[in-house]
Structure formats: structure tokens, C-alpha cells
Amino acid sequence: MKIGLIDLGSNTIKLEIFKTNGQNFKSVFYDATYAYIIDDICAGLLTQAGVDKIIHILRQYRLAAQELDCDKLLCFSTASLRQIDNQKAIVDSVYSSCGVRITPITGEEEAYYNFLSLKRVAGDAFLGGDMGGGSMQLFSVRQGVLQKESSLPLGALKLYQQFVSRAFPSLEEARQIGEYVQEEIASAGFSKEEFSDPLYFMGGSMRTITMLLPSGKTVFSPEELKELLESFLKDLPRAKQKIESVCPERLKTILPAMAALLSVCEFFHVKQVRYTQSSVREGYLIDQLNRKECIER
């Protein structure tokens, strides 16, 4: 059975197709489109420009899923549609226009799906996170059990909009981002304790950070991240050149993302950060398969 999942995020809209056999699955197709939906939110409403953008991309992805013989096509939205006041109208409009039904998920559900996904690769004890464009999910796991989870308004694009006045953050703005991130983590009820377990992080921003580190490290220390961030903040022309050579689509968001990730590391006193290609899509699929919704619908 082939199941297509459309992940409608604040920064990107992604299509991933999985071949499933019972509870087992593997990815057989992936595509991402930078849409920056969060830029189309005004006064708590998603504008028509944003709706048209979603419809255009979802039509393309529906056609791709058909051409690749998908048996099911599911679509969920994360922070992109979570806070808007016209969510139901948007969901109905998109469905009537392109035949794709969006299922908005809560921040708590997103964190849970992240946990299900990371649990497959990270073992029974770890601190996990996922940074998108509009939100960040954090969760701690002990003995394979989710201990604490929260969805926070700390997405890379959201932080850029909130704190950065120009193309790149200044040293002061990066400091403000760091302070804000720690305040939000504390207000969510996380304790400022030392974690001996690795910090596993997923998401496009994290992937880009690893591409900017020397030799493309996927396992690194907070000190290495701090050194990279400080070098970029002190030499913005070099930062611009390097980022554009790696991922120009994240030019304005990657430094806020680095500042946020560093602040997470400092809050929990972690010693090691590990990037994983796991995603919320895998967790969403696991949950669907566990409940057999894909088979029954």
C-alpha cells in the first residue's frame, strides 16, 4: 500500500510517499516547496494570497500522488494554520478547490508525533526537538516513555519576524532571541536540569545548520554551534555567501534558528546535539497505522 502525506508547514509544504506493509513502512518519494505561509497571515487571518498558494501546491501534490499510484493521500497542517481565526473556512475552501482535506493538528499532537518518530532512532532516553517555521516542539523521554512535551512559538521564521529588523540579526537581536527562547521553555514547565542524554533535533533548519558546520557534522557540541553562530554574526557578508551556497531559501531564518537551538542547549546543559532525518510525517503515519485509519477510510 502507498500512502502520501502532505505536511503543510509555516515555511514549507512537503509531500512524502511511503510504501507500507502492516506497521512497517519506508519512504519512496519526497518533495518540498518553500511557501512561507506564515508571511500571508495578517491580523490573525490567512489572506487570499496564502490560500491561493496552498491550493496551487496541493493540486500539484495531488497530481503527483496519483501519478505515483498512491492508495491514500492525507494532509495535515502544523503551526501554519494553528493560530488563524479563519481556519475552518480555509480548510473548506482548499477542499472544494482541489479535493485535498487538510487536518489541522495541535501543538501537543505535533510533539507526540515527533516523539513517535524519534523513538525509532533515539532509544529509550533522550531530549528531543523539532524546529519548524512557526513553532518548536520539545519533549523529554525516559525509559521509552514521554515524560514532558510542549509546543512553543519558537519557529525560525516566527523568531525572524519578531526580533530581526534587517536581513540578519545583530548581536543584540541574537541575544534577545536567546533570552526569549529560554523564557518560553521555562514558562512551559521544563526544569533547568543537566541532561546527560543527547539532544536529538529534526527539521529543515537543523539540517541546514549541519550543512554549515565544518565537514557537514550531524553530531556536534553546543560549543561548535556557538562558535559558528558568533563567526557569522561578526562577519555578515561571509555568512550571507556561505548560507546562499548551502540553502538560499533559509537565508533570513537560519541565524535565528541557530540562536534558538543554542539557547535550548544552554537551558538544558546538553553536551551533544544529534541531527536526525526523522520527521513529524513519520510519527503521523505511525499513529495512523496504529489506529488503522489509513486502512479503514
SS (H, E, C) 74-127: EEEECHHHHCCCCHHHHHHHHHHHHCCCEEECCHHHHHHHHHHHHHHHHCCCEE
- Judgement on whether residues 260 and 207 belong to the same structural domain of the protein: yes
Same domain, 89 and 21: yes
**Dist. CA 283–CA 279, nearest whole Å:** 7
Other Cβ atoms less than 10 A from the Cβ of 13: the count is 26
Q: Are residues 202 and 119 in the same domain?
A: yes
pTM of the model: 0.92
CATH of residue 224's domain is 3.30.420.150
pLDDT of residue 295: 46
**pLDDT tens digit sequence for 31-72:** 999 999 999 999 999 999 999 999 999 999 999 999 999 999
Mean pLDDT (the chain) is: 94
132 lies in the same domain as 186: yes
In the numeric block, which cell numbers belong to residue 231? 563567526
Is the residue at 172 inside a domain? yes
One domain, residues 265 and 136: yes
The answer to whether residue 263 is domain-embedded is yes
- 113 and 94 in one domain? no
Residue 293 has pLDDT above 60, yes or no: no
In a domain, 220, yes or no: yes
Partners of 139 in the β-ladder: 128, 149
The CATH number of whichever domain residue 28 belongs to comes to 3.30.420.40
Q: Which of 104, 120, 147 is the last residue of a domain?
A: 104
Please give the pLDDT value at position 125: 87
Shared domain check, 132 and 97: no
Q: Is 209 among the domain residues? A: yes
Q: How far apart are CA 207 and CA 186, in angstroms?
A: 26
* Domain end call among 57, 85, 104: 104
State the total domains in the chain. 2
Each residue's pLDDT tens digit, 107-124:
999 999 999 999 999 988
Q: Please tell me the predicted confidence (pLDDT) of residue 112.
A: 95
In this structure, is residue 32 part of a structural domain?
A: yes
Residue 63, C-beta contacts closer than 8 angstroms, at least 6 positions apart: none
Q: Please indicate, yes or no, whether residues 80 and 202 belong to a single structural domain of this protein.
A: no
% the chain with pLDDT above 70: 97
Q: How far apart are CA 115 and CA 149, in angstroms?
A: 9
Q: Check whether residue 47 and residue 7 sit in a common domain.
A: yes
Residues 99 and 122 in one domain: no
Predicted pLDDT of residue 183: 97
Does any domain span residue 222?
A: yes
Taking the C-alpha atoms of residue 248 and residue 225, their distance in angstroms, rounded to an integer, is 20
Q: Which domain holds residue 218?
A: 108-275
Residues 128-153 have a mean pLDDT of: 93
Residues 172 and 263 placed together within one structural domain of the fold: yes
Q: In the structure, what pLDDT confidence band is assigned to residue 83 with cuts at 50, 70 and 90?
A: confident
100 with 222, same domain?
Answer: no
